[in-house]
Structure 1
């Protein structure tokens, strides 16, 4: 794959033009992409490629490039990543590959695609696509692992990592609710554990609303409290314009399309 020139840092080179954002969601089982207009409406069909194994940085970069080719024209890129991201550099990636530690994801994708790029934890991105922007809102993602994001009046509390905190029987939320244990114990027992986790999280955060997304959200069968909402996995892509809207408004209350 041929490298492209370094990305321009201009936010919007043509303010009269509707800016298109390529939103990418890197997951433990699949890498997804879609192009959004500046209102958060999808303008392309979602593309998906199975996450390569081993999920090294180079393998994921190749996958992103392949998805980008099928999405047409875009002006900028946002990436949801399954781990801690600081200033565009990946700090952890428990469900990908050890070689991600210290990898400058933003820089490398800018080099490959020739567009400005921003990246954040995937649960953070999914949260921006789901929250109402009022009060304390917690987002958890149920997928290969267990993701989390906390928002207060629409503002993200950075670097929240619930997954590896003790939950029950000296095991963590990820150990008790990740995809691996779901396959081992089955949906019924998994849902019982999820019920206990919801009770634990509410006592811990006193949230006004809890949103649950991720690939395994569709396997939730328990009766949910009134302040708990299941959200579409597409929110992980729709929240992708949030990185850029934060520059364009003093409020971080996202107005992305939910349809």
Structure 2
């Protein structure tokens, strides 16, 4: 039996990347293709680029797409790093209309979280897993028993009178020129707060800074086991391809 393929597209602030995905192994089945994110990144302009990525591979089937915002049933509700005209847009419908293929649009941290639970650092873990991405902001994905609770915006918890991500994101480490240990102290404060609310069984930490986890992860004090993410840059593409394939399967098997 041929390995089942899916397709994932990752819309980011600087680039739109996509590739076919081996859904059994959770790996890219071909090299990623990347197109710079259009400026301004309006819905129509971005949708055209997504079509370009799909056409590059001659992909005609359903696909998944990540987006750096809250996405409720296909509709974009926030726009931190993209054009504000996305707010209120049914991004999923737009992608389907422009590309001519069935689409699933999901939050980028949610997609990465699903990939880590299926194929990465939390593989086969059936408890409550919090996948946390540290970057410009703090993204979060809450997965329990393998099922995603979508759009948890745990980077926006209030902490000591501040939006948590403004104090503890990787960008805050740069901005405030924090040493690894000073940053770890802020992360400790953040993760202990999250722990007291959600009591996860495992915390997986992703984002670019997870590549340097040996410098700071052991300094963060939590009662929950914390491990670095494994899929890194490909997590979004893999996770959204998996979610899209499952979404499509469900749609076709509704009785």
The DSSP-based 3-state class of the residue aligned with 1:79 is strand
Inter-partner Cα distance in structure 1 for 2:140 and 2:61: 29
Choose which of 42, 49, 72 in structure 2 pairs with 1:63.
49
Alignment of 1:213-232 (within 5 A): 213-220=206-213, 221-224=215-218, 227-231=225-229, 232=232
Q: Which residue does 1:149 correspond to in 2?
A: 141
Choose which of 80, 99, 107 in structure 1 pairs with 2:66.
80
Distance 1:96 1:179, change over 3 A: farther
Point out the structure with the larger helix share. 2
C-alpha contact (below 8 Å) 2:47/2:99 kept by paired residues: no
Choose which of 197, 205, 220 in structure 1 pairs with 2:190.
197
Worse-superposed segment, 101-110 or 61-70: 61-70
Alignment of 1:178-257 (within 5 A): 178=169, 180-186=171-177, 188=179, 189-220=182-213, 221-224=215-218, 227-231=225-229, 232-240=232-240, 241-245=242-246, 248=249
Report the CA distance between 1:150 and its aligned residue.
0.9
Distance 1:50 1:213, change over 3 A: farther
Q: Which residue does 1:116 correspond to in 2?
A: 102
Report the CA distance between 1:86 and its aligned residue.
1.4
Choose which of 167, 172, 189 in structure 2 pairs with 1:176.
167
Q: CA RMSD in A?
A: 2.5
Cα deviation digits, residues 170-228 of structure 1 (max 9, x gap): 11122123454233123524343223322322222211111111234334421336721
Distance 1:173 1:104, change over 3 A: same
Choose which of 116, 123, 129 in structure 2 pairs with 1:130.
116
Distance 1:143 1:108, change over 3 A: same
Distance 1:146 1:160, change over 3 A: same
The DSSP-based 3-state class of the residue aligned with 1:25 is strand
Report the CA distance between 1:153 and its aligned residue.
1.1
C-alpha contact (below 8 Å) 2:110/2:151 kept by paired residues: no
TM-score, normalising length: structure 1: 0.79
Q: Which residue does 1:7 correspond to in 2?
A: none
Unaligned runs of 5+ in 2: 118-123, 251-255
TM-score, normalising length: structure 2: 0.80
Q: Which residue does 2:159 correspond to in 1?
A: 167
How many residue pairs get matched? 233
Report the CA distance between 1:66 and its aligned residue.
3.0
The DSSP-based 3-state class of the residue aligned with 1:33 is strand
Report the CA distance between 1:135 and its aligned residue.
0.9
Distance 1:24 1:198, change over 3 A: same
Report the CA distance between 1:166 and its aligned residue.
0.4
Report the CA distance between 1:121 and its aligned residue.
1.1
